Structure formats: structure tokens, C-alpha cells
């Protein structure tokens, strides 16, 4: 993993907390499952938009470790939707040069889903147009804690070597997050990519995830590019 001072030519890492599916459904007198299905459909649209907009890495918060506390039927729906996406969209990812990765724990996921993850990751490994990552059974605190328990074995003690161990724990590594978007109106990180987002620009929108469009993503990227990222330096010095 690179440090926070990314080369200017490196493409952006955008992370999204896809919030608001349930409230989207409730506002339409629909079951929460309908909101999750609408949100899953919107993933395809946003991935296509990220490709067009030149995003290098897109990490989507699909299922947090805290989400196991939801009703079993809702958890089952979320797992099925992810499984369906892997089965139906892997070929499209291959055609468009999209590499698929799943970060987070896998020991609590259904065996069939783990098999589908491994197949999709292997099939899309050569993709270079976009690195699409889904965070599933993911907790940043838990990942950092598990990495810390392994870290004493590292021969090089540095932030970079710790990031490498963290990547092992997550099953995948990526550059630091440049822009973190949260839909649905809430303004918190919810245990998402805490290490990787240390210098991320934060963008919150009231738009519910099923309604988040290509135009919304473009607007978030435009605001990101209008901000000055100083990394602790004085204003005007970050670009020097």
C-alpha cells in the first residue's frame, strides 16, 4: 500500500457506504428486501459510471460484521443478492476489464458463496480497467485487530509493512482511499476502511443508495477535485 502522498497520475480509489435501501423501500410501502434488491441493481449502474469516469478502484460496503444482528431473513436476502451478482456479472466484468475482489472475513459466509467468490476473483484477476471490491462481513476494527496480532511476526516494522499484513487479513490490498461517499443522509464511517481512509475526503449525500445515479457520482468526484488535499501541509503547498 502506498503512503498518503499518492503519485498524481494514480487513478482514484473511491469507497462508498451504500446506505438507505431499507428506508427507500419503507418510503414506498415496500418490504426491506425490495430495497436491497433495488440497491443491488444500482450497483451495476454505478460500476458502469465508475468505469466511464476513470475511477481506478471502487470499494462498496455490502455487508458489515454488525449486520449479522439483523433478522435472519434479511441477512439471507443480502447473501443471496451478492451470490446472484457474482454468478450473473462475472462474465461482464471480464469483458469490461473489471477485477472483482471481496474483502472481509470469509469463515462465517455460506460455503456456496465462498466458492462463488473464489471463482469470480480468479476469473477476473487480469482486469485492469477497474478494481471493484465488495466489503462483506467487514469490520475495520476487527481487521486492524487481527492484523496487529499477526504483525509481531513481520521482519520490517513500519506503517507499510503493517498495511501489507492488513491486506492479508482482508484477502486483498489496495491504495489508500481518496474519496469516501456515504449515501442515505447519515454522517459516520460505521467501521469502514478506517486505516485506509486516514486522509480520505468525505462526501455525504441525502440520496438513498437505490437513487444514487451516475450524475451523483460525477458530482461527488467534481467536488473532490475542487478540494485542496494538504496532508498536514500549509494551504497552497500540497501541490508543490
pLDDT tens, 102-159? 999 999 999 999 999 999 999 999 999 999 999 999 999 999 998 888 777 766 778 8
Condensed to tens digits (0 to 9), the pLDDT of residues 37-48 reads 999 999 999 999
Instruction: Identify the domain containing residue 46 by its residue range.
Output: 13-225
- Residue 65 makes CB contacts below 8 A (sequence gap 6+) with 104, 105, 137, 138, 139, 142, 191
**Beta 179-182 vs 130-138: how paired, if at all?**
unpaired
Q: Order across the sheet with 98-103: list the strands.
A: 98-103, 130-138, 57-64, 13-17, 179-182, 201-204
In a domain, 195, yes or no: yes
In the set 19, 89, 137, 176, the catalytic residue is 19
- The closest of 170, 192, 175 to 121, measured between CA atoms, is 170
In a domain, 239, yes or no: no
Query: Is 211 an active-site residue?
Result: no
- pLDDT class for 3, splitting at 50, 70, 90? very low
Q: What is the CATH number of the domain that holds 68?
A: 3.40.1180.10
Higher pLDDT, 230 or 30: 30
With both helix axes pointing from N to C terminus, report the angle between 140-151 and 159-170 in degrees, rounded to the nearest 10. Answer: 120
In the set 21, 29, 66, 67, the catalytic residue is 67
Q: Residue 31 burial (CB < 10 Å; 0-12/13-18/19+)?
A: middle
The per-residue pLDDT for 130 is: 97
Please give the average per-residue pLDDT across 204-226, as a whole number: 97
The per-residue pLDDT for 150 is: 79
In a domain, 7, yes or no: no
| Domain count within the chain | 1
Share of the chain above pLDDT 90, in %: 77
C-alpha cell at 126: 487480469
In a domain, 162, yes or no: yes
Condensed to tens digits (0 to 9), the pLDDT of residues 191-211 reads 999 999 999 999 999 999 999
d(CA 17, CA 204): 10
In a domain, 50, yes or no: yes
The per-residue pLDDT for 6 is: 40
Grid coordinates 428506508 are at which residue?
A: 23
C-alpha cell at 22: 431499507
Please give the average per-residue pLDDT across 157-179, as a whole number: 86
C-alpha cell at 112: 456456496
Condensed to tens digits (0 to 9), the pLDDT of residues 93-112 reads 999 999 999 999 999 999 99
Query: Is 137 an active-site residue?
Result: no
Amino acid at each position: 500500500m502506498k503512503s498518503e502522498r499518492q503519485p498524481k497520475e494514480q487513478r482514484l480509489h473511491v469507497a462508498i457506504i451504500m446506505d438507505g435501501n431499507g428506508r427507500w423501500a419503507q418510503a414506498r410501502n415496500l418490504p426491506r428486501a425490495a430495497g436491497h434488491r433495488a440497491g443491488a441493481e444500482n450497483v451495476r449502474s454505478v460500476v458502469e459510471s465508475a468505469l466511464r469516469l476513470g475511477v481506478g478502484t471502487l470499494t462498496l460496503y455490502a455487508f458489515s460484521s454488525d449486520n449479522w444482528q439483523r433478522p435472519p431473513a434479511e441477512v439471507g436476502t443480502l447473501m443471496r443478492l451478492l451470490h446472484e451478482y457474482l454468478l450473473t456479472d462475472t462474465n461482464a466484468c471480464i469483458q469490461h476489464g473489471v477485477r472483482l475482489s471481496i474483502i472481509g472475513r470469509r469463515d462465517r459466509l455460506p460455503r456456496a458463496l465462498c466458492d462463488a467468490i473464489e471463482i469470480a476473483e480468479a476469473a477476473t484477476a487480469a482486469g485492469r480497467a477497474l478494481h471493484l471490491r465488495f466489503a462483506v462481513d467487514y469490520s475495520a476494527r476487527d481487521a486492524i485487530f487481527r492484523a496487529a496480532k499477526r504483525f509481531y511476526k513481520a521482519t520490517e516494522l513500519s506503517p507499510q509493512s503493517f498495511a501489507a499484513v492488513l491486506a492479508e487479513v482482508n484477502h486483498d490490498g489496495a491504495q489508500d482511499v481518496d474519496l469516501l461517499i456515504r449515501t442515505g443522509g447519515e454522517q459516520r464511517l460505521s467501521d469502514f476502511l478506517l486505516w485506509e481512509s486516514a486522509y480520505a475526503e468525505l462526501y455525504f449525500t441525502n440520496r438513498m443508495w437505490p437513487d444514487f445515479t451516475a450524475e451523483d457520482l460525477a458530482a461527488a468526484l467534481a467536488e473532490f477535485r475542487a478540494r485542496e488535499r494538504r496532508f498536514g501541509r500549509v494551504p497552497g503547498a500540497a501541490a508543490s
